[in-house]
Structure 1
Amino acid sequence: MGNTAVTLSDVWALGNNVAGLSQLTRPEVGVYAENRFLISSLNTVGLAVASPLGRLTGEEPRYGVVGLELQRFGDKLYNEQRVGLGYAYRTGVMSVGVRADVLQVAIEGLGSRRAVAASVGAQAELIPRKLVFGAYLYNLNQAHLAEYEDERVPTVLKAGLSYRPTEKVMLNAEVEKDVDHAADFRAGVEYQALEALALRVGVLGVSEQVTGGAGFHAGRFRVDYAASWHSSLGLSQHISAGFRLEAK
């Protein structure tokens, strides 16, 4: 959906907007892999785990939801690794979340550097089950990587809306701003064609990419596939699989 995920609530909210974890009512585990532009050195793999804390109060976890994400990008010449721990809590129509990342960047022959990045997020149901607002600030502390040219981890702000005119259709719009780059506008649509099948399309403005994909849901299992096309660099592919643990 053109990477418009700041309003979504699932195990992948751990990386998209940690506040979205707050609506999980069962433990979930997910794995994912991504290849950009058919270049093996631009592969990303990851694992995400999230679990509610305490018994449910109504339909919400009593003490919020905690999550852990492990991610690796690159190859032996250059790679980035990330370990992230997040927590989210929901009260009424408002959800808030915080996350801390330990980041490592390594270049063969030059060693590695580590940094710690802190992030915050929020979601609000402006119209219950219809209109959701989400915002996420990644690396609010502007974590420092190297003295050379004062290199820092990118600080990124995302904000967007998700509108559901019917139970089968979701319309998303989002703006992302890196402090060092121009803002990017994105939009996406999801259509629930069948109970077990969702179809998705999207567009990214600045990078001139179009995206499409499908999600398959069967009981506690979920598989999602997506592809994106860049006008100059070509095809990227993404796949994820998730499993929800049910109570005894």
Structure 2
Amino acid sequence: MKSLLAFILIFQINICYPQILPGARQTALSNADIANGSNLFNIEVNPAGLNGISGTELGVFYSPSPFGMKELSTGYAVFSYGFENLRLSLGYSNYGFELYKENTLYFSAGKNLFNNFSAGISLSLTNISIKNYGNTNVFRINCGTIYSVRNDFNIAFSIQNLTNSKVKNDSQPLPVIYNFGLAYSPVKDISLNLAAEKEVRFNTSLHFGIEFIPIEFIALRTGIANEPDTFSGGAGIFYSRFNFSYAFKNHNELGITHQIELIYKITEQ
């Protein structure tokens, strides 16, 4: 019965879009951080944020039972390597269960175009497998920018599904999503994040998140969003070259989702 409910839920959400966006840090901030990058898991919403990463990193993300349903489990793995003024990332995600599965490969690139302006692009190829109905592939392009007005204030803009792609035999293309974000740090250890997400057929969704670092190896995070109404929170622990984060998101109708991520910095530069 749970498998059937999960199958129905999948088709109430956009097929071929990440049902659970990657990144425990992002989730804890209610995905309000598109202007406050420097994280491996920006490959989906704003790849321009990859430019804030230093050195070589490898990260994994896992959400075992979104909304209490293990059939919706989601996993990501991302590797990122930086050149002098260019960053390349490779990613893989797996979502679903025996009736419906999505496997996605990502190739992302980010570049600092000017001292205070960066841009990024993410190419993804998703294989969709539906039991008794076969397989199909969908190619998408996401892109984004981040502009640093000052050291403590960033503005960002990104587009998901720039290609207006659609699933084979589906008359309607996948939605194009526009994201706009602001990030402001009033003091060194506090970051305020605001984002607006607009899909053409739906109301604008607003996201707000706060990150507070009380001591150098711990980060506390919380956020809220509407359309749909959600509340989220979590924490990060930094130790040596490891960065561990936990997040939860509470959906008013679907319940709580738990997530974890682990990032390892292979090289510093």
- Of 99-108 and 11-20, more deviation after overlay is shown by 11-20
Report the secondary structure of 1:20's partner residue. helix
Counterpart amino acid of residue 140 in structure 1 = L
Counterpart amino acid of residue 201 in structure 1 = T
Work out whether residues 45 and 142 of structure 2, in 8 Å CA contact, stay in contact via their aligned partners in 1.
no
Measure how far apart 1:222 and its partner are: 0.3
Runs of 4+ off more than 4 Å: none
> Given the alignment of the two structures, is residue 93 of structure 1 paired with residue 116 of structure 2, yes or no?
yes
Which of 62, 75, 80 matches 2:102? 80
Q: Which residue of 2 aligns with 1:213?
A: 234
Measure how far apart 1:123 and its partner are: 0.3
Q: Which residue of 2 aligns with 1:17?
A: 46
**What's the C-alpha RMSD, in Å, of the aligned pairs?**
1.4
Which of 24, 30, 40 matches 2:70? 40
Measure how far apart 1:182 and its partner are: 1.8
- Do the aligned partners of residues 144 and 231 (structure 1) sit closer, same or farther apart at CA in structure 2, a change above 3 Å counting? closer
Q: Which residue of 1 aligns with 2:15?
A: none
Partners of 1:127 and 1:201 in 2: CA distance: 24
> Given the alignment of the two structures, is residue 49 of structure 1 paired with residue 51 of structure 2, yes or no?
no
- Structure with the larger RCO, 1 or 2 (CA within 8 Å, 6+ apart): 2
> Given the alignment of the two structures, is residue 198 of structure 1 paired with residue 210 of structure 2, yes or no?
no
> Given the alignment of the two structures, is residue 123 of structure 1 paired with residue 153 of structure 2, yes or no?
no
Q: Which residue of 2 aligns with 1:176?
A: 197
Counterpart amino acid of residue 238 in structure 2 = H
Measure how far apart 1:247 and its partner are: 5.2
Measure how far apart 1:228 and its partner are: 1.0
Work out whether residues 43 and 74 of structure 1, in 8 Å CA contact, stay in contact via their aligned partners in 2.
yes
TM-score, structure 2 as length reference? 0.85
Partners of 1:231 and 1:23 in 2: CA distance: 34
Partners of 2:167 and 2:157 in 1: CA distance: 25
Offset from partner CA, 1:14-70 (integer Å, 9 cap, x none): 2331111112220100000113111011111010111002xxxxxxxx240000110
Partners of 2:55 and 2:139 in 1: CA distance: 29
Work out whether residues 41 and 74 of structure 1, in 8 Å CA contact, stay in contact via their aligned partners in 2.
yes
Unaligned runs of 5+ in 2: 1-28
- Of 5-14 and 73-82, more deviation after overlay is shown by 5-14
TM-score, structure 1 as length reference? 0.92
Measure how far apart 1:153 and its partner are: 2.8
Higher strand share goes to which structure?
Answer: 1
Higher helix share goes to which structure?
Answer: 2
Q: How many percent identity over aligned positions?
A: 22
Partners of 1:48 and 1:247 in 2: CA distance: 17
Which of 43, 58, 68 matches 2:90? 68
> Given the alignment of the two structures, is residue 228 of structure 1 paired with residue 249 of structure 2, yes or no?
yes
